[in-house]
Chains A and B, each alone.
Chain A
Amino acid sequence: MKRDFLLRDLAQRIHDIEIEEHHLHQAANPLAVPGLEEVLPDGQLPAGAIVEFLSAHEGAGAWTLALIMARQACGEHKVLVVHDGQKCFYPPAASQLGIDLRRAIVIRPHRQAQALAALVQSLRCPAVGATIGAFDGLAAVPFRRLQLAAETGGGISFLMRPASVLRQPSFAAVRLLVTPWRAGSVSDRRTPRSNTPVAYGSPLNDVRCVRIEIVRFRGAKAGRSFLVEIDDEKGDVHLSARLAAAKTLARSARASG
């Protein structure tokens, strides 16, 4: 009896959260990542959503994908806030991806503890269209605070997190597992392994492949994965033409992460 009551209570709380989110769908943001657009309702991300990018190691392509999506979320009027606690963010590359640096505030806190408070403050601001930051450890309470702040301000928060937090509870509306897709693993690999480096500027060099797995999307089917190609030169993302037939993994739909 006690168990039934607990389950009903939990179900009601999940329902309340879903209801809260429903009205936010009215102010949605289009994405710049094909494949992901097909999965999301109306191909858009709800305003005030938190998107988690999980990757096992650096260099997976999560920052590039997040910046391209953030560029889209900010549009022409809103501001991007980059939380650069590690002091590694490199603006010339962001500019190459089409980020307008005049509308990008880079926060470089001296202490990591300050970063979370600054992120909450940024998300509450209606002028902010998107925030990006790497936050490895995130307890439930501050995570929920982030979610509420994002819902208040209407901006989208992109969190870069290690894949090791995959099993931890999350308040993110979308969880994406990003893995680099090595060229050698594709049947029609583009260039054979060579000891000779390719000169800069060769057109075939500029695209890299990334596998995106939708670990969780509230209200949509999880467990799908697809391959995208990132063009660092143009700042574009498109479905891999050679890998368009990438099979959807028969991953069982998970209710939540």
Chain B
Amino acid sequence: MIHCSARAAQAGVRPGMTLAEARTIATHLLVEEDEPAADIQALRQLATWAERYSPIVALEEGPRPESLFLDITGCAACFHGEDRLGQQALDELRAQGWHARSAIAGTMNAAWALAHYQDWRAGSVSDRRNSDGLPPVANAPGSPCKSLPIAALRLPDETIQILADLGIERIGQLVELPRPSIADRFGALVVERLDQMFGQLPESIVPHRSLPDVEASCSFEYPVERHEAVCRALEKLLEQIEEMLQKRHVGARCLECWLYHETAAPLRIEVGLFRPGRAARYLGKLLRTRLEQIRLEEAVTGLRLRVPIVETIAEHQLDLFESDEAPSVHALPALIDQLTSHLGRDAVTFATLVADHQPEYACRFEPAVFSYPFSREPTASADGMPRRPGIPPTLAVGSRLNSGGYFGRRPLRVLPAPAPIEVMSVIPGGAPLVIRRGAEKHAVERSWGPERIETGWWRGQDIQRDYYVIETEEGTRFWIFRRLDDGRWFLHGCFD
């Protein structure tokens, strides 16, 4: 049994029972086969129907969504207030035969929690105490979220159990605890859920039906060759783009510019942004930098600007007296955007460590502008530095590694491709005594090793190497290896 009606529940049927058990308790039980796909389809139809209340309607995330989220910002005036909007939606759903609950809150998590755990017999509930539309704050004494059970935070069962064992059963009790200790004792997810509920982490509703693309285009009466004329036309288009983004309360993470010619193939220029932005002047500056590096093959007959990736812009409250760290909040994204426009996105990177024994694959350079996911997860923390909600590699980026960890001792300078060297040893395959690279000859004073690395067979390269750290008579340390297949030696890095 997955769900049961109120009448069946009165008879003693409970979700989780087997069908045989349920039939024993209620002999005249009417049973329907569970069809998750059909449920989702029905919910999608409801989402389309709910667009009469809001242009942005989203399905709850997860394998079996059961809730709809409506962004009713600016919609309440059409229904004489938020409460009436909620009540009208409930009445209409009931008239269609649905059993529904609704809640209106400043954040998605708060609305979900209230809809599921607030006493809903009164109908639609709201946690908005003020008419200013601001989300509730954690320490607001009257916030109804505080009286909700811990389960309303959608935490794993084991976390809920740990909290229950400590006597923490309500969200209000959890909020009263010192914030640093919450993360240490119960995990970062608890703090994240609280922050989402109380509006301290930005979140966005991803509409179930995608909105039309943000784009603007124009065509010239005559083909244009002058760079200034193209830039002026782009400025006009960017103003349109800014207006469209403003209406949607989002910013661009990526901007595409198409230049059309009479005979040549259209030229596509892409500008990535580290943080979402929509100011026409700012986007125009980045686009001009890219355009300056491109030589037009032919006169331009038309232009098209398109924003393929949009993201909610987190609003920041400016301090009256800005702190020392304040300039970096905006300066860093602007620097990354400008460098990327100037050098290309592959040239401005963040390094990511990868759990791979082969030194060439132990790190990855990812374009800085696209290093962070475009999901609903926050892209920036309070200090302006990006957060990395999910790091794909198995090693945490930036974690300090030691010799006892995944890697052995590694040099700071590693050649892009190992360079062949000649090595003299007392015995074949023994420790190096003298190395020669071209005209350079170094006597080896000391050496450490070998560190054997055997890996990479799944990539089609069976890597078998014995690595040594050698110190020359001059005091320089090199990182060299002997290829076990053929006994050849290579210089791979330098401890500079």
Q: With A90-B363, A105-B348, A108-B365 as given contacts, are A118 and B339 in contact (CB-CB < 8 Å)?
A: yes
Partner of B331, one of A126, A191, A201: A126
Within 8 A of B (CB), among A154-197: 179-185, 191, 193-197
Would B495 and A105 count as touching, CB distance under 8 A? Answer: no
Q: How far is the CA of A118 from the CA of B407 in the complex (A)?
A: 32
Q: Which residue of A lies closest to B430 (CB)?
A: A195
Q: Does residue A43 face the partner (Cβ distance < 8 Å to B)?
A: no
Would B445 and A182 count as touching, CB distance under 8 A? Answer: yes
Interface string of A138-152 (1 = CB under 8 A from B): 000000000000000
Q: Does residue B140 face the partner (Cβ distance < 8 Å to A)?
A: no
Within 8 A of B (CB), among A54-111: 57-64, 67, 77-79, 87-98, 100-110
Would B402 and A96 count as touching, CB distance under 8 A? Answer: yes
Minimum CB–CB distance from B455 to chain A (whole Å) comes to 15
Besides A58-B496, A102-B397, A121-B342, 10 new A-B residue pairs in contact (Cβ under 8 A), listed by A number: A60-B476, A77-B328, A91-B351, A101-B397, A102-B350, A102-B398, A105-B336, A180-B475, A195-B430, A200-B449
Within 8 A of A (CB), among B399-426: 399-403, 407-416, 426
Q: Which residue of A lies closest to B387 (CB)?
A: A102
* Chain B residues positioned under 8 Å from A110 (CB to CB): 343-344, 347
Q: Which residue of A lies closest to B496 (CB)?
A: A63
Q: Does residue B312 face the partner (Cβ distance < 8 Å to A)?
A: no
Q: How far is the CA of A208 from the CA of B336 in the complex (A)?
A: 36
Minimum CB–CB distance from A10 to chain B (whole Å) comes to 36
* Chain B residues positioned under 8 Å from A125 (CB to CB): 331-332, 334-335
Q: How far is the CA of A180 from the CA of B473 in the complex (A)?
A: 10
26 contacts between A and B (CB under 8 A): A59-B494, A61-B496, A63-B413, A89-B412, A90-B493, A93-B411, A93-B412, A97-B412, A101-B397, A102-B397, A105-B336, A107-B349, A108-B365, A110-B343, A114-B343, A127-B327, A182-B445, A182-B472, A182-B473, A196-B431, A197-B431, A197-B450, A200-B403, A202-B448, A208-B475, A233-B402
Minimum CB–CB distance from B354 to chain A (whole Å) comes to 9
Q: With A63-B412, A108-B347 as given contacts, are A91 and B363 in contact (CB-CB < 8 Å)?
A: yes
Interface string of B317-335 (1 = CB under 8 A from A): 0000000110110011011
Q: Does residue B267 face the partner (Cβ distance < 8 Å to A)?
A: no
Q: Does residue B433 face the partner (Cβ distance < 8 Å to A)?
A: yes
Q: Does residue B471 face the partner (Cβ distance < 8 Å to A)?
A: yes
Q: How far is the CA of A181 from the CA of B477 in the complex (A)?
A: 11
Q: Does residue B145 face the partner (Cβ distance < 8 Å to A)?
A: no
The 8 A-B pairs of least Cβ separation, nearest first, read A180-B475, A59-B476, A127-B328, A91-B351, A182-B475, A127-B332, A126-B327, A90-B414
Q: With A90-B411, A106-B350 as given contacts, are A127 and B343 in contact (CB-CB < 8 Å)?
A: no
**B binding-site residues for A, Cβ under 8 Å:** 324-325, 327-328, 331-332, 334-336, 338-339, 342-344, 346-353, 359, 362-363, 365, 368, 383-386, 388, 397-403, 407-416, 426, 430-431, 433, 445-451, 468, 471-478, 493-496
* Chain B residues positioned under 8 Å from A91 (CB to CB): 351, 353, 363
Q: How far is the CA of A239 from the CA of B137 in the complex (A)?
A: 52
Partner of A122, one of B335, B363, B412: B335
Q: How far is the CA of A182 from the CA of B476 in the complex (A)?
A: 8
Q: Does residue A205 face the partner (Cβ distance < 8 Å to B)?
A: yes
* Chain A residues positioned under 8 Å from B430 (CB to CB): 195
Q: Please indicate which of the listed interface residues B328, B368, B383, B388 has the most CB atoms of chain A within 10 Å of its own CB.
A: B328
Would B416 and A103 count as touching, CB distance under 8 A? Answer: no
Minimum CB–CB distance from B219 to chain A (whole Å) comes to 34
Partner of B385, one of A97, A102, A202: A102
Minimum CB–CB distance from A175 to chain B (whole Å) comes to 18
* Chain B residues positioned under 8 Å from A93 (CB to CB): 410-412, 414
Q: Does residue A33 face the partner (Cβ distance < 8 Å to B)?
A: no
Q: Does residue A198 face the partner (Cβ distance < 8 Å to B)?
A: yes
Minimum CB–CB distance from B446 to chain A (whole Å) comes to 6
Q: Which residue of B lies closest to A104 (CB)?
A: B351
Q: Please indicate which of the listed interface residues A92, A110, A117 has the most CB atoms of chain B within 10 Å of its own CB.
A: A92
Q: How far is the CA of A104 from the CA of B477 in the complex (A)?
A: 25
Would A88 and B363 count as touching, CB distance under 8 A? Answer: no
Q: Which residue of A lies closest to B431 (CB)?
A: A197
Q: Does residue A130 face the partner (Cβ distance < 8 Å to B)?
A: no
Q: Does residue A128 face the partner (Cβ distance < 8 Å to B)?
A: yes
Q: Does residue A19 face the partner (Cβ distance < 8 Å to B)?
A: no
Minimum CB–CB distance from B423 to chain A (whole Å) comes to 12
Would A107 and B496 count as touching, CB distance under 8 A? Answer: no
Q: With A121-B338, A233-B409 as given contacts, are A101 and B398 in contact (CB-CB < 8 Å)?
A: yes
Would B475 and A183 count as touching, CB distance under 8 A? Answer: yes
Q: Does residue A199 face the partner (Cβ distance < 8 Å to B)?
A: yes
Minimum CB–CB distance from B259 to chain A (whole Å) comes to 22
Q: Please indicate which of the listed interface residues A127, A128, A180, A233 has the most CB atoms of chain B within 10 Å of its own CB.
A: A127
Minimum CB–CB distance from A235 to chain B (whole Å) comes to 8
Partner of A98, one of B347, B351, B362, B400: B400
Q: How far is the CA of A196 from the CA of B427 in the complex (A)?
A: 11
Would B332 and A79 count as touching, CB distance under 8 A? Answer: yes
Q: How far is the CA of A193 from the CA of B443 in the complex (A)?
A: 11
* Chain B residues positioned under 8 Å from A104 (CB to CB): 350-351
Q: Which residue of A lies closest to B383 (CB)?
A: A77
Within 8 A of B (CB), among A194-231: 194-202, 205-206, 208-210
Minimum CB–CB distance from A134 to chain B (whole Å) comes to 10
